[in-house]
Structure 1
């Protein structure tokens, strides 16, 4: 059965659809020895992944901090969901992992990550490692107990070697979604001014602050509930993976006098937001969360600020909230001497984000695609 993001009328139990194997396939190609990775492996795994990224002509690199964070992730069990392949000298030559966001409700997702060192490609290691990952992903999905549509997914940059794309295709994945990487000149000779945006009271633009972070999570879950493949983020998920977070470049829009009764009467208002409204908590209605990736500057050949996520609560769309937050981020990038503002966007984003970015001067630089097996 093939599922989409909209659950079919009758859905077999996840344990049945996942078709999880009792044992995982052995990896014999390349003569490597295999074991689970641990946090102590973070530095060598980082080196391995960066060698893979360089060979795949990726425009970004990993930092030791990012990789170390992945070993503290609430989305995987390192003992069962990672695999490190070592050569006869004990040097890591391949790495694979499976992550599963714990907050998923209406779509249960697993993502496959990793790769094979370029010096050891062409030996069949990648094919067998991917088979292990898919099998383990099926086990994770079956064990979730969440009887909703399910997905096994992996990403590949458009400019990655064709062999990487073929690897997914031969393993039964389909091209499910396409993403564009965009940039906007901020400080170059041809840069246009960042627009000044006024918000109608009681909306107010404020810098990101820790005391508003939970309210921002709730805004994000509302903003992205109509986006393909998106699922609510738990508190643990939301707070994880912030080694490159740039709070000085992040901005929020709050409603100082929300119409609480109308929001509570709205059937789309989620339970957590409703509880926060009843408790008189601040209401974040839009946000721009940014990251700083200094290690990518020499790879891309320029400095930039990166908008990780931009979102607006559905009830507040059409009030220039996104433009105000994004423009504030761009001004902060420029004030710190960044040449470009960068971000990525789903080409089929339902909120019209692609058109918004184009109107603000963002242009495509490259892209990526998501490969998926839907269950």
Structure 2
């Protein structure tokens, strides 16, 4: 590893980062392709402290590997930080992955002490289980599997939207109701494992960015109040690489008092129909296997099928 240059990431590394991630995809095959614009969004995340909590290895202009920590905007008893990273296939089996994981855990302690020192620190890694060598690497550093998520997919053709339950009204996203979307998401996710409220800056970075598809994102109201929401994203790099235009339902939320009343099914049915009408080939979503609202069953009922499992690995520090 001594022939590599090691330094923190910067926003100027967007193109090199995209090159690394796309090289990883050729081997790992997890369905993640990137443009420099996509990776830039990750690098300007307001809760990614690149100077204190990122590290990349370079071989000339080629990024051989990287890690970065994303801390939470708020935390109560537990502060779960995300450790993200990867190693270029041409540089694997050289100890780079282990060095990056070790650096990530150390960096997590730094940002944790700065932002939520009174909470318990847990470092999370969330990756598809099919990635060769990943389980062995994180286990060797003390990580254990704590949660499973399933990618679900639905091929699209001519579809009819589900009937909207009586007393409800559906509307597409607009600048005028964007805050209603965020409010419903935050309230609906209060009892979701590991979730914390998304402040406006994080919402803009993670949701209403260049991958956001407002025409396939919907809000459901009851008596004028927003009670459910669905947000769709689509990655142009995936479409270019695969020829498949995928409508990814990245967030679906229903206020607790309106669950089991067909809200999520109505939103999903509307989004599926509109996505099909607009020429999308497929819809997808990542579903928590232990979701408190029973999302896995809702997706199965709507015609989605599981295709890939993600493992959430955790290290209590």
Q: What range is the shorter-chain TM-score in?
A: over 0.9
Correspondent of 2:129 among 158, 164, 171: 158
Contact 2:52 2:110 in 1 (8 A): no
Contact 1:74–1:101 (Cα < 8 Å) also in 2: no
Alpha-carbon distance change, 47 to 165 in structure 1, aligned in 2, over 3 angstroms: same
1:246 to 193, 199, 213: 213
Q: Which residue of 2 aligns with 1:141?
A: 112
Structure 2: distance between partners of 1:175 and 1:30: 32
2:237 corresponds to: 295
**Superposition deviation, residue 101 in structure 1:** 2.1
Aligned to 2:169: 204
* Match in the other structure for 1:232: 197
Q: Find the residue that maps to 1:224 and give its secondary structure.
A: helix
For residues 243 and 77 of structure 1, the distance between their equivalents in structure 2, rounded to whole angstroms, comes to 22
- Taking structure 2 as the reference length, the TM-score comes to 0.94
Q: Is 1:54 aligned with 2:20? A: no
Is the counterpart of residue 370 in structure 1 residue 312 in structure 2? Answer: yes
Greater strand proportion: 2
**Following the alignment from structure 1 to structure 2, what is the Cα–Cα distance between the partners of residues 71 and 320?**
38
CA contact (8 A) 1:215 1:284 kept: yes
Q: What pairs with 1:60-209 in structure 2 (closer than 5 Å)? A: 60-87=32-59, 89-161=60-132, 163-187=133-157, 193-201=159-167, 203-209=168-174
Instruction: State the shift of 1:286 in Å.
Output: 0.3
Structure 1 residue 319: Cα displacement: 2.1
- Residue 341 of structure 1 deviates from its aligned partner by 1.5
Cα root mean square deviation, aligned: 1.7
Number of aligned residue pairs: give it. Answer: 315
2: CA distance between counterparts of 1:150 and 1:130? 16
Is the contact between residue 156 and residue 165 of structure 1 (CA under 8 Å) also seen in structure 2?
no
In 2 relative to 1, CA 309–145 (structure 1 residues): closer, same or farther, beyond 3 Å? closer
Alpha-carbon spacing, 1:106–1:77, altered in 2? closer, same or farther (3 Å): same
Runs of 4+ in 1 over 4 A off after TM superposition: 298-301
Which 5+ residue runs of structure 2 have no aligned equivalent?
Answer: none
SS of alignment partner, residue 112 of structure 2:
helix
- For structure 1, the 5+ residue unaligned runs are 1-28, 258-282
Residue 152 of structure 1 and its aligned partner are, at CA, apart by: 0.3
- Larger Rg, first or second structure (1 or 2): 1
1:225 alignment partner, SS class: helix
CA positional deviation for 1:298: 5.4
> For each residue in 1:85-106, what CA deviation from the matched residue of structure 2 results, as whole angstroms up to 9, or x when unmatched?
122x343211111111213334
Among residues 361, 364, 372, which one is paired with 2:303 in the alignment? 361
Deviation for aligned residue 1:303? 2.8
The Cα of 1:300 is off from its aligned counterpart by: 5.0
Q: Measure the CA separation in 2 of the matches of 1:54 and 1:100.
A: 29
